[in-house]
Amino acid sequence: MNIMVTGSEGQLGSEFRAMACAYPQWNFFFFSHNDLDISEEVRVDEAIQKCRCDVVVNCAAFTSVDGAEADPAKSFRVNRDGAGALARCAKERGVFLVHFSTYNVFDGLSPMPYRETDKASSHGLNAQAKLAGEDLIRTIAPSFLIIRAGWLYSPFGENFVKTMLRLGRERDSLDVVSDRIGSPAYAADMVDAVLTILAKADPGKTYAATYHYANEGVCSWYDFAIAIMKLANLPCHILPIESSSFTVKGPRAFYSVLNNNSIKRDWGLDIPYWHDSLSKAVERILMLS
């Protein structure tokens, strides 16, 4: 099986690169955003043909919620048009497309974990671009999985865990928002789940499914920060603050917990508890630094 991974320098792409060696039976082709802009359809098609690709895993995305408010065109080009280009190429070449999306497609006003069938209605531009990308894939791609992730972190790129570890070394105390909750998603767990799915997927079948993936359990950003400091043995004191005292440009959801039962049930997956995965990630991040 030939697997093409776009956005290979991002958080998810880097985890795919780190885990590829565990699957020597498959050929992986990695394209960073410098190698391949997914919104350039001709070049995407050329790449898919060159690697005689069976599966495209799209890890390329514009992920900055604030950045999308400042420069919506850029977000739509990658998140909507890029997804559309991949979907059309996947259709042209009969390729299975695995695409990642976000909890942010929901408005975050639910009191209970979001299911895949809940209505997506985000206020932010980045999420609207992600949702438009999802819809293009649903309409065009012959066989696809869309996986919406919770609060993503990893040793790679920019994420909350890395920011907290850095600030925790620099400061004695730190204010962290306590009124917004969600489920962290460790990129390594998610990539492991996708590789397990690829091993189980039947190449003769077509798929058309949307899934939610997050580690088990919930926390607020405040709980998350406390857990990070404890695991890294940093003496930085975490203080709870309300999000209204912390101005950001893009909209932030109050409630971002995802119901992850469908992906577990359909593919027989076990998902680790967020705190257990965080403990592994922190150890790995501290080792890498």
| 216 CB-near residues (< 8 Å, 6+ apart) | 183, 260, 271, 272, 273, 274
27, 32, 64, 110: residue in contact with other proteins (rule CB under 8 A)? 110
Q: Strand 181-182's sheet: what is its strand order? A: 219-220, 181-182, 255-256
Closer residue to other proteins in complex, CB, 22/112: 112
113 lies in the site for other proteins, by CB under 8 A: yes
223 lies in the site for other proteins, by CB under 8 A: yes
Q: Which residues pair with 176 in a beta bridge?
A: 240
112 lies in the site for other proteins, by CB under 8 A: yes
Name residue 1's amino acid.
Answer: M
Closer residue to other proteins in complex, CB, 78/226: 226
- Inter-residue contact 5 to 59 (CB < 8 Å): yes
- Inter-residue contact 79 to 135 (CB < 8 Å): no
89, 226, 231, 232: residue in contact with other proteins (rule CB under 8 A)? 226
- Look-up of token digits 């209970």: 112
The least distance separating other proteins from the CB of residue 218, rounded to whole angstroms, comes to 5
Both structure tokens of 246: 């912390």
Closer residue to other proteins in complex, CB, 70/239: 239
The least distance separating other proteins from the CB of residue 232, rounded to whole angstroms, comes to 16
The least distance separating other proteins from the CB of residue 34, rounded to whole angstroms, comes to 39
The least distance separating other proteins from the CB of residue 193, rounded to whole angstroms, comes to 16
* Residue span binding other proteins (CB under 8 A) among the ranges 19-27, 87-95, 176-184, 280-288: 176-184
Q: What is the DSSP string of 75-143?
A: HHIIIIIIHHHHHHHHHHHT-EEEEEEEGGGS-S--SSPBPTTSPP--SSHHHHHHHHHHHHHHHH-SS
Closer residue to other proteins in complex, CB, 79/178: 178
Q: How far apart are CA 235 and CA 81, in angstroms?
A: 45
178 lies in the site for other proteins, by CB under 8 A: yes
165, 218, 232, 263: residue in contact with other proteins (rule CB under 8 A)? 218
123 lies in the site for other proteins, by CB under 8 A: no
Q: How far apart are CA 204 and CA 68, in angstroms?
A: 39
27 lies in the site for other proteins, by CB under 8 A: no
Burial class (CB in 10 A: 0-12, 13-18, 19+), 205: exposed
Both structure tokens of 239: 């203080």
Closer residue to other proteins in complex, CB, 72/113: 113
- Where along the sequence are the contacts to other proteins (CB under 8 A)? 108-113, 178-181, 216-220, 222-223, 226, 240, 242, 253-255, 257, 259, 261, 273, 275
